[in-house]
Amino acid sequence: MKHIAVFIFFLFTTNFFAFQKQNIDTSYTINSAFNKYKKSFPKIKIVPLSRFKNVSEINNIIYKSLKSRNLKLDAFINKRKNNPAVVLVHGGGWKSGNKSHMHALAQNIASKGYSCFAIEYRLADEAKYPKGIFDVKSAIKFIKLNAKRFHTDSSKVVILGASSGAQMATLVGTTNNNIKFEEEVNNIVSATVKAIINLDGILAFKHPESKEGKMASLWLGGSFRDKPKIWKEASPLFHTDKNTPPILFINSQFKRFHAGRDDMIKILDNYAIYSQIETIPNSPHTFWLFQPYFNDTLKIITQFLKQIFKSN
């Protein structure tokens, strides 16, 4: 009995500390955002999930195994073959949020002829920058390696991010082929993307238009005063160059959520790289989660994708 008791204690403490190590913040939800906005935006409604006959769904596919846990993605696969892929990165201030927040958007984009992937990644309480960026790039590689399974053309991958996820997605796109931002480098497949879709995410952490503070400091491992190099390194603006892919910005009415955007576009214009700005008027920051803004957002995204992949 003594040995059994010791084993049970060991099992309990191991699981407890493993959970503590993960330390995943689940405070930010679609419902919490709705409750925050409903007074100022009384017409908003949460976008319901949909089922489309031409889309198959597979949830919680393991794309990366860590010592503490597995990282997973949810796939929304159009039943056609060789679809362009869209990888969706959720928001939540780098500290919270969930891949399920991107399900409605992923379902609807997939129904238009794409294979979509809502991914999870390590948040600030679990792992500091750049671990989350490593995770996103690992997910892209996994999707490319399994292109046949997912009905995906591995040469046609787009990354889409929302809010803090948009900052991450844009950093992933502006660091195409930069091995510093990849945890594992191999010659089998790359984490490069063909285009970026940024839903109201900042391009520079330290910028006259930016108001990033506590949340950014938590993810970046310190304040700007303490870690100025990291704050700059994590800012997509400072990686924008001739190798940056085309980008779509869809923004709310709040300027601080696209800090650095106009500076980035100037650089892109110098290299004749396509960029597009669309604004959802009179909308909350997380407009992609709610009607009456969702349909316009979806239309803009799919039109951009058609332009990028004209043969689709």
Residue among 151, 174, 165 at smallest CA distance from 244: 174
Torsion of CA 49, 51, 54, 55, to 10 degrees: 60
Residue among 215, 167, 199, 219 at smallest CA distance from 286: 199
Range name among 26-30, 56-60, 81-85, 209-213 with the lowest pLDDT average: 209-213
Q: Who has greater pLDDT, 253 or 166?
A: 166
Residue count of the chain: 312
pLDDT digits (tens, 9 = 90+) for 175-195: 999 989 988 777 789 999 999
Instruction: Kindly tell me the sign of the dihedral angle through the C-alpha atoms of 136, 142, 148, 150.
Output: negative
At residue 312 the predicted structure's pLDDT band, cuts being 50, 70 and 90, is very low
Q: Residue 200 in contact with residue 248, Cβ under 8 Å?
A: no
Q: Please tell me the pTM assigned to this model.
A: 0.92
What residues does each domain of the chain span? 25-308
- CATH dotted code for 25-308: 3.40.50.1820
Residue among 143, 30, 170 at smallest CA distance from 76: 143
Q: Residue 152 in contact with residue 158, Cβ under 8 Å?
A: no
Q: Which residue has the tokens 């919680």?
A: 60
At residue 7 the predicted structure's pLDDT band, cuts being 50, 70 and 90, is very low
- Which residues have C-beta within 8 Å of that of residue 164, sequence separation ≥ 6? 91, 92, 93, 94, 97, 201, 215, 219
Query: How many other β-carbons are positioned within 10 Å of the β-carbon of residue 66?
Result: 14
- Number of H-type helices and E-type strands within the chain: 9, 10
Q: Residue 63 in contact with residue 138, Cβ under 8 Å?
A: yes
Would you state the pLDDT for residue 16? 40
Q: Which residue has the tokens 């860590």?
A: 66
User: pLDDT averaged over the chain?
Assistant: 92
Residues 27-44 have a mean pLDDT of 97
Residues 234-238 have a mean pLDDT of 97
pLDDT digits (tens, 9 = 90+) for 204-227: 998 867 766 788 999 999 999 999
Runs of H (alpha helix) within the chain: 2-22, 30-37, 103-110, 131-145, 164-174, 214-220, 228-233, 261-270, 294-308
Buried b (16+ CB within 10 A) or exposed e, 104-134: bbbbbbbbbbbbbbbbbbbbbebbbbbbbbb
Which amino acid makes up residue 52? F
As given in the structure block, the two tokens for residue 312 are: 């689709």
